[in-house]
A = this chain, B = another copy of it.
Amino acid sequence: MTKENIATWFQGLQDDICQELEALDGKGKFQEDKWQRPGGGGGRTRLIEGDLIERGGVNFSAVHGDLPDNIAAALKIPDKQFFATGVSIVLHPHSPLVPIIHMNVRFFETSNGLWWFGGGIDLTPHYVHPDDSKLFHQKLKGTCDAHHADYYPKFKVWADDYFYVRHRKETRGIGGIFFDRLGEQDGFTRESRFDFVKAVGNTFIPIYKEQVARNIDRPFTEKEKKWQYIRRGRYVEFNLVWDKGTKFGLDTDGRTESILMSMPPTANWVYNHQPEEGTAERETLGYLKKGINWI
């Protein structure tokens, strides 16, 4: 299982997901930008703007070269020749009743043989419905449990901690799973880790289809659209202030337009916005906490 095999599989995943998302959207078609990284490697950035998805990015990249000193120090790795490949997705739907979804699967290797996988899937509903959240987490748990009993409990907590908007004291959404540095600890092999990561990648479409199907036909109001724009503002805050992946990309002179494809088309900020007691918006804020057992 070489790094080239892994990159090839990720590339195929990007193709499959794009095809499925076009079918799901019904109208939007992906546009592709191929890019080269000056330091080595490159990627395929794909953007869709359709009927269901107001803006969605599905990115593949496989890059290599010298790691900047500060990044090598942050990652605590001595070797500075690296290879990194992955698929990264953020979808911003038109409807405020359909959640934002994010997925990332990635593989990292250094020239002296250190390697690991990372990734995850998390959901950011503008309005949280515990029934939908339960289904989402059940599906993720199913995917995890097929590979190791510890995965879901551990990666669920990790997602709660990672997707946390510290300055707002709220989670970005209802979490999901997040994992990093999955290497050959505890008897795992490269194959067994990769099998799990493949399963996560393959879970993306069925899990999002289900969330869309449950909500796409519900009509929405102007008030709900405004709330969506405010929640998108929080999404922007998380990604630009706290997200390590975004920071890594911007620090290593990654392709800005690909990294910031996670930004929503429109976001609003309202000073000191506090939804009234008894509203759906207020109820959603009550769900943006760590440690909720959705299942």
Given the complex, which residues of B lie within 8 Å of A55, measured CB to CB? Answer: 271
CB distance from A35 to the nearest CB of B (A): 11
Nearest residue (CB) in B for A257 is B272
User: Among the listed stretches A126-134, A152-160, A198-206, A232-240, which one makes contact with chain B, having 4 or more residues with CB under 8 Å of it?
Assistant: A232-240
Given the complex, which residues of B lie within 8 Å of A167, measured CB to CB? Answer: 250, 253, 256, 259-260
Given the complex, which residues of B lie within 8 Å of A250, measured CB to CB? Answer: 166-167, 241
Asked if A111 lies at the interface with its beta carbon under 8 angstroms from chain B, I say: no
- The reply to whether A265 and B269 form a contact with Cβ atoms under 8 Å apart is yes
Given the complex, which residues of B lie within 8 Å of A33, measured CB to CB? Answer: 272
Counting chain A residues whose Cβ lies within 8 A of the other chain, the interface size class is: 20 to 34
Nearest residue (CB) in B for A250 is B167
- The reply to whether A268 and B265 form a contact with Cβ atoms under 8 Å apart is yes
- The reply to whether A236 and B241 form a contact with Cβ atoms under 8 Å apart is no
Report how far A268 CA is from B265 CA in the complex, Å: 5
Report how far A122 CA is from B241 CA in the complex, Å: 22
- The reply to whether A265 and B270 form a contact with Cβ atoms under 8 Å apart is yes
Chain copies in the assembly? Answer: 2
CB distance from A77 to the nearest CB of B (A): 23
Question: Which residues of chain A from 124 to 168 have a CB within 8 Å of any chain B CB?
Answer: 166-168
Asked if A52 lies at the interface with its beta carbon under 8 angstroms from chain B, I say: no
Asked if A266 lies at the interface with its beta carbon under 8 angstroms from chain B, I say: yes
CB distance from A43 to the nearest CB of B (A): 14
Asked if A197 lies at the interface with its beta carbon under 8 angstroms from chain B, I say: no
CB distance from A198 to the nearest CB of B (A): 29
Given the complex, which residues of B lie within 8 Å of A256, measured CB to CB? Answer: 167-168
Given the complex, which residues of B lie within 8 Å of A265, measured CB to CB? Answer: 268-270
Given the complex, which residues of B lie within 8 Å of A247, measured CB to CB? Answer: 241
CB distance from A55 to the nearest CB of B (A): 7
Report how far A257 CA is from B269 CA in the complex, Å: 10
Asked if A267 lies at the interface with its beta carbon under 8 angstroms from chain B, I say: yes
Q: Please name 19 pairs of A and B residues whose Cβ atoms are closer than 8 Å in the assembled complex, sorted by A.
A: A57-B271, A166-B250, A167-B253, A167-B256, A233-B263, A236-B236, A236-B267, A240-B240, A241-B247, A241-B250, A260-B269, A263-B269, A264-B269, A265-B268, A265-B270, A266-B267, A266-B268, A267-B267, A267-B269
Known: A265-B268, A265-B269. 10 other contacts (CB 8 A): A47-B271, A55-B271, A166-B250, A167-B260, A233-B263, A237-B240, A241-B250, A265-B270, A266-B266, A266-B267
